[in-house]
């Protein structure tokens, strides 16, 4: 008996705009896996999906919002976080997930990221880090490793990349983790935790970009995933200043920080609406 | 909770009147960034919004402010921001997103002299063409120009009404003088203000197409969390909201975005006429310059010059028909504005072949005195 | 599969059985499911899908333990597994 069947319903189809699948992501691109993990986490976390919104910026990862069958907003380059901030503040009942890439969130949108973390806006930010600008053909990003080759650093990148978890932690995020797409179970669990954690949650997901970054840095997609398997060390609670991202020396993964503190809206209600608070407590 | 509509007689600045107008219109979200001479709008909103169940946030810059305003609007709140020249430049990208995604919002520009940092504390009207074309691509936009604190109040309500009705950003192009001028402002009873709201979708949620226009050319708007599962993108999209990368889709989308404005010009365009009936020289002006122009009309009449004023309350879309009709029967048109010729170009275009058009302009930093206008009227007649 | 240490209750553990489903038309042939299947259930199919990629095919169906790893590593929503008994019902 042939147990392999050709069936066309995937368990995630209920959350996918199946009329737009196959998606635009290249063969071997890790965004699809990070996206898939985020969808699974949305299901398993048991949050109200009707009240869940995905906001993306621009770039390959920014296309995420276009494939989820929930309210989804594909905004301008780097501005997903301010847009998401407005949404959350206008309707605090919404679960707002920002799904975007490293170029979008940390170069053009870097300022918005640190301020949203500082304010502790209750958002879940999933950043797919593929070390370059994939959509435009593989230019250097704020995350491109030193000496790596891209179309705009043909002799090697002279710049130093950001340490994203450290930046998120330093700016005041409530939840900080990093995984690779190979560690998809841990990643899914992390997104689930982040969805349930009140406050600004940040998850960096390392993902191969075979077409743009991999091709210029002699990384075949399977080799990249093998490197994720061999060179990564899981160190939960590792201080974000000490997490490494070096394909030679090692890559630190894990949940680095998870601590609840009052969100922007908690503080706003406390400081700007004291009267209303009194009325509420009297009603109880 | 305190009342959102502060019924009564007030002596307040244009900036404060603008904020009160927004609250009266139902605005419950403001994101902004301090900038002279618009800061007082933000300051007043920061005081008042939490008391009426709204939220104020000071963002990290004007780009973020505009982003947050759009997010809040998509989550169902009537939203606004206020800024001046440099901040207006930064908002342009997301104003384009608002146009493309048909997201209602109100943007106030209390103009100061530019380019660049320019004269932060002094008035100008130099951003009028930026209001029209500042974001990239071809589009239509609604722009109103108040010329008193009282108008700052009423036109802010109008701005929200038009924005909600037509699902488009509406710009209020004020200026430093009007923003900082204190005058009597009468706020009516709350039940005398009937704010309009965006059209709501009906019917089956799974069949809803978020960009399929209704009878007046405007698509009903589903907001986040209502269960419609909509996709909204700044890419060229079809009626379902899905990106379509073709010239045909682009043509269809632009026809929709511009068409909904074109077919509702009667509701959108507002002008005021002063002594136009028998005028043979017509001043076209708006904002603070309309005040100088009003004085100039009366003084010119005393000198025997049959002057009149067409005040543009709606500047964009430009009231072409009205200007053309006037140009048919008058000896000349004089545009008065604090720039070196922006709306003047539009007047010239509409008057071409019908009547000569002159400019009384100023580089910015001062209000145009009525004497300068009269001088030009004299030379004309 | 060889274990370097056998659990004391190994005889009581019921290993689940899975059936792999492949949505061939969505596949882009990255090979992640084949390379990282812990039971080596999959291999590259010689046939092409409409987009010109080689989807995976099942070579050792009985080895599948329904761990879902192929399903969650797949970037293209093109493969998943279900529990054998449930599927046969």
- Based on the fold, state whether residues B176 and B324 are members of the same structural domain: no
Q: Which of B:166-185 have CB within 8 Å of A?
A: none
| CA-based R_g, chain C, Å | 14
- What pLDDT does B347 receive? 98
Look at residue C88 in the predicted model and tell me its pLDDT: 54
Give the residue with greater pLDDT, C88 vs A40.
A40
pLDDT tens-digit profile of B174-185? 999 999 999 999
- At B176 the pLDDT is 98
* Torsions phi, psi for B248 (to 5 deg): -65, -45
- pLDDT-derived band of residue C8, with 50, 70 and 90 as boundaries? confident
Report the alpha-carbon distance of residue B49 to residue A258 in Å, rounded. Answer: 32
Q: Judge if the upstream peptide bond of residue A102 is cis by omega within 30 degrees of 0.
A: no
pLDDT one-digit tens code per residue, B197-241: 999 999 899 999 999 999 999 999 999 999 999 999 999 999 999
pLDDT tens for chain B, residues 1 to 381: 899 999 999 999 999 999 999 999 999 999 999 999 999 999 999 999 999 999 999 999 999 999 999 999 999 999 999 999 999 999 999 999 999 999 999 999 999 999 999 999 999 999 999 999 999 999 999 999 999 999 999 999 999 999 999 999 999 999 999 999 999 999 999 999 999 999 999 989 999 999 999 999 999 999 999 999 999 999 999 999 999 999 999 999 999 999 999 999 999 999 999 999 999 999 999 999 999 999 999 999 999 999 999 999 999 999 999 999 999 999 999 999 999 999 999 999 999 999 999 999 999 999 999 999 999 999 987
Residue whose C-alpha is closest to residue B332's, from B307, B304, B296 = B307
B234: enclosing H helix or E strand: none
In this structure, the answer to whether residues B183 and B37 fall within a common structural domain is: yes
The domain spans of chain C are 18-88
How many Cα atoms sit within 13 Å of A60 on the Cβ side? 32
Within 8 A of C75 by CB-CB distance, chain A residues are 25, 28-33, 35-36, 181
- Give the distance from residue B93's alpha carbon to the nearest chain A alpha carbon, in angstroms: 8
What is the pLDDT, as a whole number, of residue C12?
Answer: 85
In this structure, the answer to whether residues B185 and B297 fall within a common structural domain is no
Mark which of B128, B162, B190 sits at the end of a domain.
B190
Residues B165 and B18: their CA atoms lie apart, in Å, by 20
* B288/B165 same-domain check: no
Point out the residue among B71, B227, B233 whose CB comes nearest to the CB of A83: B71
- Walk along chain A (284 residues) and give the pLDDT tens digit of each residue: 444 444 568 999 999 999 999 999 999 999 999 999 999 999 999 999 999 999 999 999 999 999 999 999 999 999 999 999 999 999 999 999 999 999 999 999 999 999 999 999 999 999 999 999 999 999 999 999 999 999 999 999 999 999 999 999 999 999 999 999 999 999 999 999 999 999 999 999 999 999 999 999 999 999 999 999 999 999 999 999 999 999 889 999 999 999 999 999 999 999 998 776 556 666 65
Residues B51 and B163 occupy one common structural domain? yes
Q: Do B225 and A17 touch (CB under 8 A)?
A: no
pLDDT confidence of residue B380: 84
**Measured between CB atoms, does C80 come within 8 Å of chain A?**
yes
Q: Could you tell me if C42 lies within 8 Å of chain A, comparing CB atoms?
A: no
3-class secondary structure, B279: coil
SS3 content of chain C, % helix, strand, coil (to 5): 25, 20, 60
B67 touches chain A (CB under 8 A): yes
Residue B87: other Cβ atoms inside 10 A:
23
Would you state the pLDDT for residue B31?
98
Task: Chain A: give the shortest CA distance to residue B340, in Å.
Answer: 33
**pLDDT at residue A3, rounded to an integer:** 46
CB atoms within 10 A of CB B369: 14
On the CB side of B276, CA atoms within 13 Å amount to 19
Tell whether B231 lies on the interface with A, counting CB pairs under 8 A. yes
Evaluate whether residue A4 is within a structural domain: no
Instruction: Count CB atoms within 10 A of the CB of residue B90.
Output: 18
Decide if C75 and A221 are in contact by the 8 Å CB cutoff: no
Of C35, C58, C75, which is closest to A4 when you measure between CB atoms?
A: C58
Say whether both B67 and B178 belong to one domain.
yes
Which residue of A74, A76, A83 is in closest CB contact with B68?
A83
Count of domains for chain A: 1
What is residue A279's predicted lDDT score, i.e. its pLDDT? 65
CATH of the domain at A210: 3.40.50.970
Which CATH number fits the domain that encloses residue B105?
3.40.50.970
**What are the pLDDT digits (tens) for C40-79?**
999 999 999 999 999 999 999 999 999 999 999 999 999 9
- Residue B220 domain-assigned (yes or no): no
HSE-CB for A91 with a 13 A CA cutoff: 23
CA distance B98 to chain A (A): 10
Instruction: For residue B101, give its domain range.
Output: 8-190
Note the pLDDT of residue A282: 64
Three-state secondary structure call for residue B246: coil
C9: confidence class by pLDDT, cuts 50, 70, 90: confident
Residue B97, CA distances (Å) to A152, B71, B104, B135, B169 in order: 29, 11, 11, 9, 10
Predicted confidence (pLDDT) at residue C5 exceeds the cutoff of 90: no
How many distinct structural domains can be found in chain B?
2
A213 to chain B, closest Cα gap in Å: 25
Select C18-88's CATH number: 3.40.50.720, 3.40.50.300, 3.60.20.10, 3.30.70.20.
3.30.70.20
Nearest to B86 by CA among B59, B116, B113, B107: B116
Q: Given this model, what pLDDT does residue C11 score? A: 83
pLDDT of residue B267: 98
Crossing angle for the helix pair A164-171 and A110-119, to the nearest 10 degrees:
40
Residue at A258 is within a domain: yes
Question: What would the pLDDT profile of C10-47 be if each residue is shown by its tens digit?
Answer: 888 888 999 999 999 999 999 999 999 999 999 999 99
- Please choose, from the candidates C71, C51, C76, the residue with its C-alpha nearest in 3D space to the C-alpha of residue A32: C76
Among the partner-chain residues A2, A10, A222, the one whose CB lies closest to the CB of C77 is A10
Compare CB distances from C20 to A4, A181, A182 and report the shortest one's residue.
A4
Single out the residue of A77, A208, A79, A213 nearest to residue A144, CA to CA.
Answer: A213
Please list every residue in chain A whose beta carbon sits closer than 8 Å to the beta carbon of residue B242: 17, 19-20, 66
- What's residue B231's pLDDT? 98
Interface test with A, best of B75, B92, B136, B244 (most A CBs within 10 A): B75
Per-residue pLDDT tens over the stretch A215-251: 999 999 999 999 999 999 999 999 999 999 998 899 9
The residue out of B137, B156, B190 marking a domain boundary is B190
Q: Which backbone phi and psi does B157 adopt, to 5 degrees?
A: -65, -45
User: Residue B204: its pLDDT value, please?
Assistant: 92
Contact present, A and B (at least 3 Cβ pairs less than 8 Å): yes
Query: Which domain, by its residues, includes A260?
Result: 17-283
Residue that terminates a domain, selected from B190, B213, B235: B190
Burial class (CB in 10 A: 0-12, 13-18, 19+), C7: exposed
DSSP string, B346-367: HHHHHHTTTS-EEEEE--SSSP
Residues 236-295 of B with CB under 8 A from A: 242-243
Say if A173 is an interface residue toward chain B (CB within 8 Å).
no
Q: How many CB pairs under 8 A join A and C?
A: 91
Q: Tell me which chain A residues have a C-beta less than 8 angstroms from the C-beta of B72.
A: 86-87, 89-90
């Amino acid at each position: 008996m042939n147990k392999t069947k050709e069936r066309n319903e995937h368990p995630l189809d209920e959350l996918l705009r199946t009329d737009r699948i196959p998606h635009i992501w290249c063969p071997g691109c890790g965004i699809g896996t990070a996206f898939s993990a985020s969808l699974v986490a949305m299901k398993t976390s048991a949050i109200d999906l009707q009240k869940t919104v995905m906001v993306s910026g621009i770039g390959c990862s920014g296309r995420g919002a276009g494939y989820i069958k929930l309210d989804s907003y594909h905004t301008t380059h780097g501005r997903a976080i301010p847009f998401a901030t407005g949404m959350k503040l206008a309707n605090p009942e919404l679960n707002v997930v920002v799904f975007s890439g490293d170029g979008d969130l940390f170069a053009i949108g870097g300022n918005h990221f640190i301020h949203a973390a500082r304010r502790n806006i209750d958002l879940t930010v999933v950043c797919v880090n593929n070390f370059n600008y994939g959509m435009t053909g593989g230019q250097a990003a704020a995350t491109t490793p030193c000496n790596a080759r891209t179309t705009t650093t043909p002799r090697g990148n002279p710049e130093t990349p950001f340490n994203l978890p450290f930046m998120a932690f330093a700016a005041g995020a409530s939840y900080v983790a990093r995984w690779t797409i190979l560690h998809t179970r841990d990643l899914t669990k992390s997104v689930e935790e982040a969805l349930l954690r009140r406050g600004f949650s940040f998850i960096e997901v390392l993902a191969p970009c075979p077409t743009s970054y991999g091709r210029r840095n002699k990384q075949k997609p399977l080799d990249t995933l093998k490197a994720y398997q061999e060179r990564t060390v899981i160190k939960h609670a590792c201080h974000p200043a000490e997490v490494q991202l070096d394909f030679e020396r090692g890559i630190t993964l894990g949940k680095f920080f998870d601590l609840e503190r009052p969100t922007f809206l908690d503080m706003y209600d406390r400081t700007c609406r004291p009267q209303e608070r009194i009325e509420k407590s009297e009603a109880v | 909770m305190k009342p959102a509509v502060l019924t009564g007689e007030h002596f307040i600045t244009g900036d404060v009147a603008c904020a009160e107008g927004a609250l009266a219109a139902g605005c419950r979200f403001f994101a902004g960034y301090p900038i002279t001479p618009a800061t007082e709008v933000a300051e007043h909103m920061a005081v008042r919004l939490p008391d009426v169940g709204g939220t104020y946030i000071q963002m990290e810059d004007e780009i973020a402010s505009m982003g947050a305003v759009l997010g809040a609007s998509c989550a169902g709140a009537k939203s606004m921001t206020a800024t001046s020249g440099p901040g207006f430049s930064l908002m342009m990208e997301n104003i384009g997103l608002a146009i493309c995604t048909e997201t209602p919002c109100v943007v106030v520009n209390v103009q100061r002299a530019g380019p660049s940092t320019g004269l932060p504390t002094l008035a100008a009207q130099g951003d009028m063409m930026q209001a029209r074309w500042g974001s990239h691509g071809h589009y239509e936009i609604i722009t109103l120009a108040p010329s008193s604190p009282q108008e700052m109040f009423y036109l802010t309500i109008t701005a929200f009404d038009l924005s909600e009705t037509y699902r488009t950003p509406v710009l209020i192009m004020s200026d430093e003088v009007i923003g900082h001028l204190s005058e009597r402002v009468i706020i009516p009873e709350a039940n005398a203000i009937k704010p309009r709201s965006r059209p709501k979708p009906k019917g089956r949620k799974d069949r809803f197409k978020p960009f399929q226009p209704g009878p007046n050319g405007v698509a009903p708007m589903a907001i986040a969390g209502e269960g419609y599962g909509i996709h909204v993108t700044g890419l060229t999209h079809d009626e379902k909201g899905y990106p379509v990368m073709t010239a045909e889709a682009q043509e269809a989308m632009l026809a929709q975005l511009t068409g909904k404005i074109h077919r509702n010009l009667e509701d959108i365009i507002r002008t005021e006429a002063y002594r136009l009936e028998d005028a043979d020289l017509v001043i076209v002006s708006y904002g603070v310059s309309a005040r100088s122009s009003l004085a100039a009309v009366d003084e010119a009449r005393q000198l025997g010059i049959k002057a009149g004023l067409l005040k543009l309350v709606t500047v964009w879309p430009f009231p072409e028909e009205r200007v053309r009709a006037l140009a048919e029967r008058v000896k000349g048109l004089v545009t008065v504005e604090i720039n070196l010729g922006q709306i003047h170009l539009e007047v010239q275009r509409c008057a071409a072949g019908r009547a000569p058009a002159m400019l009384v302009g100023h580089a910015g930093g001062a209000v145009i005195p009525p004497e300068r206008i009269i001088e030009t009227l004299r030379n004309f007649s | 599969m060889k274990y370097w240490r056998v659990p004391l209750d190994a005889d009581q553990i019921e290993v689940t059985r899975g059936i792999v489903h492949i949505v061939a038309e969505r596949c882009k042939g990255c090979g992640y499911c084949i390379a990282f299947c812990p039971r080596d259930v999959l291999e590259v199919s010689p046939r092409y899908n409409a987009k010109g990629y080689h989807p995976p095919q099942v070579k050792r169906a009985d080895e599948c333990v329904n761990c879902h790893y192929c399903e969650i590593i797949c970037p293209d929503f093109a493969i998943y597994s279900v529990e054998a008994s449930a599927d046969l019902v």
